[in-house]
């Protein structure tokens, strides 16, 4: 199957606006031909000046020809502006539609996709890759039409007045074109992809570094925290220097070729006038000297168009890297509904990269209304297990059931209204407290939101804010601590009121006072619900109905706290180590006891 060209694909995305793009090409080409007319009238001015010199008062058409040159120059500019207006309208529509297309597809992808793909990389693809198409359509394609029409008109002018000088003017053009083709071939396309990769790498590392600044400051890290970001900058620097050196020689030859036409014309003039200089030849030579700068401008335009075409090809490839990802399967013909709030996993197998299994043949059942806890060593697969229950990802093997129904058969909106998630680092958007909580249930009344905030132990937060619940976070120096943000997030989940709640280390970043309030909020949140918690602090799991110890992607053991402590297993050792660590005290002499 023949691959669709980038241009035809973008015009398809443009919809009815593609006709504006077509109009921009036609207007740009017309503008290029009109822009050559002033050279003709300038030639007539020079001819009349040479004919009447030194009695210039005898000139009759000089002023008229001069004004005609100005008129055509102005008309050419106005037509070109009209071309750009048409091209920009079409280009903006294409960029908008590409972003909408990408975002509409992203919302159909697994919810964990953004985390694994990288928010910095994703932002660059959605925003900058679509913006690259705007530059190409709005500027480069009209310029291409202009660059095609200009040589056609120039060829007529160059050969009509003196074909010998005309052919001589084309020699640097041919040489420059050959050098340009060498610079913009397959190797350049590969280099352009490397360039975009380097920029994407820096963007991603920059976002991750900025996100990690609070941790860096907390633990007093310096150069070590900066290392990955610095390494990405260093890789970009090495690449740019090597690339610049590689293109230095051909770029010098190209510049010399397209700007050396004057030297060839002068040399040709000396050769062609060995038998004497005629006024007609001098007039033609002056015209060629005036008009040849257009050649270098045209060639430079063509070169940059080739470069931008490669940028667009790379940009569309990156957009396709998102669009080609398989969305979550949705049952539209025969959707099913959960019968209760139980959770069941049958023979679950999952891998992030398709090679190494993170979860291996896991099966478990959490009855409705019970509280279960996932504990175990870091990296064992606890959060991944919770992500599968929330359908942030789909497993490669096995089945996840909620209320006896495969989650793939449950409509997406219903699943989101069945399971809610409290992350260990819940984020709030730049909006009022009220609007942040309302995200849990957009149709909630103000009274319902205030009740949710009260149940989430947020009264002390609201009291200290200048405008109470209407205070916008992030403006006027209003910021909340990690524990306070967590309580606002819990209020949001309380307002949503789903029958299943997943708590992923939700007190990890809370200070003692906030942790106490968060735990009190959890107690209210958990009433009558199926609760799944991921915990490292084993004191948090003392009252749960069942504990699952997850290690190396498998369930090492399970049972109540009492049952697991009676066994000589992993949980018992973790419990002993935890209680030993919390009993440590630092003496005045700096020794532990």
44-59 pLDDT per residue, tens: 887 777 777 777 677 7
Return all residues near 201 (Cβ < 8 A) that are at least 6 apart: 232, 235, 236
Mean pLDDT of 200-218: 62
Q: How far is 197 from 359, CA to CA, in rounded Å?
A: 31
Same domain, 45 and 125: yes
Dihedral angle over CA of 525, 528, 529, 533, nearest 10: 60
pLDDT for the residue 1: 43
- Quick one: DSSP state of residue 2? P
Residue 337 covered by a domain: no
pLDDT for the residue 213: 57
Return all residues near 384 (Cβ < 8 A) that are at least 6 apart: 350, 358, 359, 393
Residue 381 pLDDT greater than 70, yes or no: yes
Same domain, 281 and 405: no
Same domain, 289 and 390: no
The 10s digit of each residue's pLDDT in 415-456 is 888 988 887 767 788 888 899 899 888 889 999 999 988 888
Same domain, 504 and 375: yes
Same domain, 132 and 237: yes
Q: How far is 323 from 101, CA to CA, in rounded Å?
A: 8
The 10s digit of each residue's pLDDT in 454-480 is 888 888 888 888 888 888 887 665 678
Domain carrying residue 295: 6-323
Question: At 499, which CATH number?
Answer: 3.40.50.300
Residue 275 covered by a domain: yes
**68 or 295: which carries more pLDDT confidence?**
68
Residue 332 covered by a domain: no
Question: At 149, which CATH number?
Answer: 1.20.1560.10
Same domain, 230 and 375: no
Same domain, 208 and 318: yes
Residue 101 pLDDT greater than 80, yes or no: yes
Residue 582 pLDDT greater than 80, yes or no: no
Angle in degrees, 0-180, between the axes of helices 141-161 and 293-323, rounded to the nearest 10: 160
Same domain, 56 and 197: yes
Residue 394 pLDDT greater than 80, yes or no: yes
Same domain, 181 and 258: yes
Q: Which of 323, 357, 372 is the last residue of a domain?
A: 323
The total number of structural domains that make up the chain: 2
Residue 382 pLDDT greater than 90, yes or no: no
Residue 215 pLDDT greater than 70, yes or no: no
Same domain, 359 and 311: no
**187 or 58: which carries more pLDDT confidence?**
58
Helices (H), 53-140: 62-106, 113-117, 119-123, 130-135
pLDDT for the residue 150: 79
Q: How confident is the model at residue 589 (pLDDT cuts 50, 70, 90)?
A: very low
Same domain, 247 and 358: no
């Amino acid at each position: 199957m023949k691959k669709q060209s980038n241009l035809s694909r973008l015009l398809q995305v443009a919809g009815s606006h593609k006709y504006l793009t077509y109009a921009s090409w036609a207007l740009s080409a017309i503008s290029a031909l009109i822009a050559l007319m002033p050279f003709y009238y300038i030639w007539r001015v020079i001819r009349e000046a040479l004919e009447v010199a030194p009695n210039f008062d005898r000139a009759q058409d000089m002023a008229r020809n001069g004004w005609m040159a100005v008129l055509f120059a102005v008309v050419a500019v106005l037509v070109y502006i009209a071309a750009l207006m048409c091209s920009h309208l079409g280009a903006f529509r294409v960029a908008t539609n590409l972003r909408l297309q990408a975002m509409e597809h992203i919302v159909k992808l697994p919810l964990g996709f953004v985390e694994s793909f990288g928010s910095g990389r994703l932002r660059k693809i959605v925003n900058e890759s679509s913006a690259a198409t705007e530059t190409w359509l709005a500027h480069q394609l009209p310029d291409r039409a202009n660059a095609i029409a200009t040589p056609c008109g120039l060829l007529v002018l160059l050969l009509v007045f003196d074909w010998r000088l005309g052919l001589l003017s084309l020699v640097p053009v041919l040489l420059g074109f050959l050098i340009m083709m060498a610079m913009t071939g397959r190797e350049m396309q590969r280099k352009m992809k490397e360039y975009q990769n380097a920029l994407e790498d820096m963007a991603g590392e920059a976002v991750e570094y900025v996100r990690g600044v609070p941790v860096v400051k907390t633990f007093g890290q310096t150069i070590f925290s900066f290392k990955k970001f610095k390494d990405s900058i260093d890789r970009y620097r090495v690449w740019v220097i090597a690339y610049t050196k590689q293109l230095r020689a051909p770029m010098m030859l190209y510049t010399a070729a397209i700007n050396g036409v004057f030297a060839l014309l002068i040399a040709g003039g000396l050769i062609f006038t060995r038998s004497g200089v005629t006024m007609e030849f001098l007039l033609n030579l002056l015209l060629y000297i005036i008009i040849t700068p257009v050649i270098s401008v045209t060639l430079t335009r063509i070169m940059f168009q080739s470069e931008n075409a490669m940028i667009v090809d790379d940009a569309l490839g990156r957009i396709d890297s998102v669009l080609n990802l398989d969305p979550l399967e949705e049952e539209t013909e025969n959707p099913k509904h959960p019968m209760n709030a139980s959770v069941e996993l049958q023979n679950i197998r999952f891998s992030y990269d398709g090679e190494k299994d993170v979860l291996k043949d896991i099966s478990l059942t959490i009855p409705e209304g019970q509280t279960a806890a996932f504990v175990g060593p870091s990296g064992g697969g606890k959060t991944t297990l919770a992500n599968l229950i929330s359908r942030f990802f789909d497993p490669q093997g096995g089945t996840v059931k909620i209320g006896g129904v495969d989650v793939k058969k449950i409509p997406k909106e219903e699943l989101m209204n069945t399971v809610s998630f409290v992350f260990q680092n819940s984020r709030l958007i730049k909006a009022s407290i009220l609007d942040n909580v309302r995200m849990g249930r957009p149709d909630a009344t103000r009274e319902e939101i205030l009740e949710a905030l009260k149940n989430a132990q947020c009264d002390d937060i609201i009291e200290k804010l200048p405008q109470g619940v209407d205070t916008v976070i992030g403006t006027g120096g209003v910021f909340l601590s990690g524990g306070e943000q967590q309580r606002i997030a819990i209020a949001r989940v309380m307002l949503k009121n789903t029958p299943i709640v997943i708590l992923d280390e939700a007190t990890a970043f809370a200070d003692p006072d906030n942790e106490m309030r968060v735990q009190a909020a959890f107690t209210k949140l958990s009433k009558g619900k199926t609760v799944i918690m991921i915990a490292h602090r084993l004191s948090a799991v003392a009252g749960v109905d069942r504990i699952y110890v997850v290690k190396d992607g498998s369930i090492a053991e399970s049972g109540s706290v009492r049952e697991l402590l009676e066994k000589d297993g992993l949980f018992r050792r973790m419990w002993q180590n935890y209680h030993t660590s919390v009993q440590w005290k630092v003496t005045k002499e700096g020794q532990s006891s």
